[in-house]
Amino acid sequence: MSSNNDVSILKISSNDIPESERAAALRDFYCRGLVKAELETRDDESIMASLTAHSLPDAQLLLGTLFGAKLVRSRQLAVDGDDSLALVFNRSGAVGVTGRGRDLMLGPGDAVLASAEDATTFERFVAGDCFSLLVPRRVLAPIVMDIDDAVMRVIRDRQTEIAVLVDYATSLVREHALATPALRELGAGHLHDLLALVLGPTDDVRESAGRRGAKAARLRKAKFVIANNCWRPDLSVVGVAQELGVTPRYLQRLFEADGKTFSSFLVEQRLKRAHRMLREPEFVERPVSSIAYDVGFGDLSYFNRCFRRAYGATPSDVRSGTAE
């Protein structure tokens, strides 16, 4: 098990732990990174786990899988004062959830809201992955209608909202966007809004949640797509909008609200890529013109003008190390 205090991450993999020590290590993992829980192992079956927990202000993300053991939040543990509510989204396989007198089976794409105040068990019956988001009750209660009625009910009619939430959360992790306290606080706020949209926000926060949550998630995904495909000369607002399932004009408005345009952000990413390549030894023999075309520019003169405007130096100055 490893941790990183700078980015508030806990990781555990059964591949790194002797089988005889896995149950104890997993109990410690859940107590440190999530909620206090016990593990009940199955006879003659190995525990397989690969889990990562990310801590944010008033939010915790859990990604991965646990197979071969039952996770039990007993009545004795449920009186510890933790009132967190957890959205558990089953991405693949099958998970059984028991609590509040209900026995639920989550298939691929199903989700459920569980409460740490209840005695609850989770058991994976078919191998697969889960996504979980834990948020304190005090955060959700004011922004979700009838929060108690949402607990222990299978959620199958909010697939779009869940997809946006999961996509945003995983992009935060994938893009290392939780590296500073300010970014973690911003990301947590968006996650709260998106979770409220999944569960049914109160009327007075629905609009602001949609604005701050769903729109922020779409903009982040758009930026991720652009940053990873900026080298393509044919990358356009139309193509990115199609990938996100929105209209080009809607995507343009997202960027405008962020203080940029689609085109300016695309050029910025291409210039950043070119700047990195000019400073890396492996590209020292490649002509500046070749680098310009490799990062997506079709006109060398335009590339040189944009580069000088962005960095106050020529590409050759950056390559030689004479630029400040």
| Number of Cβ within a 10 Å radius of residue 207 | 10
Angle, vertex CA 44, rays to CA 40 and CA 49, nearest 5: 55
Distance CA 292, CA 299 (A): 8
0.75 surpassed by pTM:
no
The correct answer on CATH 2.60.120.10 for the domain covering 2-228 is: yes
**In the prediction, which pLDDT does 214 show?**
67
Whether 204 and 167 have beta carbons less than 8 Å apart is answered as: no
Per-10-residue mean pLDDT of the chain, 324 residues long, equals 55 88 86 80 82 88 89 88 92 93 94 94 91 92 81 89 88 72 80 86 52 69 83 92 86 88 93 88 88 93 93 88 65
**In the prediction, which pLDDT does 4 show?**
42
Whether 278 and 318 have beta carbons less than 8 Å apart is answered as: yes
CA distances from 130 to 36, 62, 65, 66 (A): 18, 8, 6, 9
Q: Where are the domains of the chain?
A: 2-228, 230-320
Residue-wise over 268-279: b if at least 16 C-beta within 10 A, else e? bbbbebbbebbe
Tell me whether strands 102-106 and 69-73 are parallel, antiparallel or unpaired: unpaired
**In the prediction, which pLDDT does 291 show?**
93
Beta-carbon contacts of 68 under 8 Å, excluding residues fewer than 6 positions away, are 41, 42, 45, 46, 47, 48
Quickly name the fold that domain 230-320 has: Arc Repressor Mutant, subunit A (1.10.10)
Distance CA 140, CA 115 (A): 12
**In the prediction, which pLDDT does 212 show?**
56
**In the prediction, which pLDDT does 33 show?**
64
**In the prediction, which pLDDT does 2 show?**
44
Q: What are the start-end ranges of the E strands in 107-184? A: 111-115, 120-126, 130-135
**In the prediction, which pLDDT does 3 show?**
43
Sheet holding 94-99, edge to edge: 38-41, 69-73, 120-126, 94-99, 102-106
Distance CA 103, CA 97 (A): 6
**In the prediction, which pLDDT does 160 show?**
85
